[in-house]
Copies of this chain bind each other. A is one copy, B any other.
């Protein structure tokens, strides 16, 4: 039993460690639920919060604000995301989290959630898995921003979202993304102007186009071809249809010292 929990927790077969359905009961009893409209904030930069949030439905983004007014979008949060675990590690950091669509989420006081871990250790492992999942996304973004030209960078970003879409709940067709060009720019370290130019090309090439305030993916195949996400990553994003892994059984550590 223990071994099984460990195995399933480490090798996430689902899109995220937590499914939106189970979030309200994560602490054993029903959590507080709230909802917000597009543009509103779960928490604002500089605000000290002792809560952790779980997204039940909708899109949000967490970001950091700089003195000079610039904004760095770190992650796009979809249903199943746990928000605030990392943000609060360093107190006083100017991080915030705002909604892109209508968002329903639950609230866990930190102490309650972590207290629950003490009585239910497997929850701790799942939280580790969730934080790790976010870290993987950010590492990937870092590589993109550091080394890829704007075109690939944007394509990778959109492709990532396209792959994560199954978590969105609805598998719309065509898939549409509630992001402004300024959001994209702030996520990727570009200028809205340059995003505009690049997206213009995407439109010309029949890859993606704005419909109202949503960016619609017209041809996912073309998008995938422009993007440089490798296939195994794309699969992992989509819910870990990764090759099955022979998980080691939990057993006592071997004792040995350095010669």
A45: Cβ under 8 A from any B Cβ: no
B188–A146 CB distance below 8 A: yes
A11–B91 CB distance below 8 A: yes
**What copy number does this chain have within its complex?**
2
Q: List the one stretch of A31-39, A154-162, A205-213 in contact with chain B.
A: A31-39
* Residues A201-259 near B (CB distance < 8 A): 230, 232-233, 236, 242-243, 245, 247-258
Q: List the one stretch of A135-143, A163-171, A173-181, A192-200 in contact with chain B.
A: A135-143
Q: In the complex, what residues of B have CB within 8 A of residue A122's CB?
A: 118
B143–A93 CB distance below 8 A: no
B189–A147 CB distance below 8 A: yes
- Interface size on A, as a range, is 35 or more
The 7 closest A-B pairs by CB, nearest first: A124-B124, A146-B189, A115-B250, A33-B258, A121-B121, A111-B248, A112-B253
Mark A residues whose CB is within 8 Å of B.
Answer: 2-3, 5-7, 9-12, 27-35, 50, 64, 66-67, 70, 72, 74, 85-86, 88-93, 104, 108-112, 114-115, 117-125, 127-129, 131-136, 138-139, 141-143, 145-147, 188-189, 230, 232-233, 236, 242-243, 245, 247-258
13 contacts between A and B (CB under 8 A): A6-B115, A33-B257, A64-B143, A72-B146, A89-B129, A90-B236, A91-B242, A115-B250, A118-B121, A119-B121, A124-B124, A131-B131, A131-B132
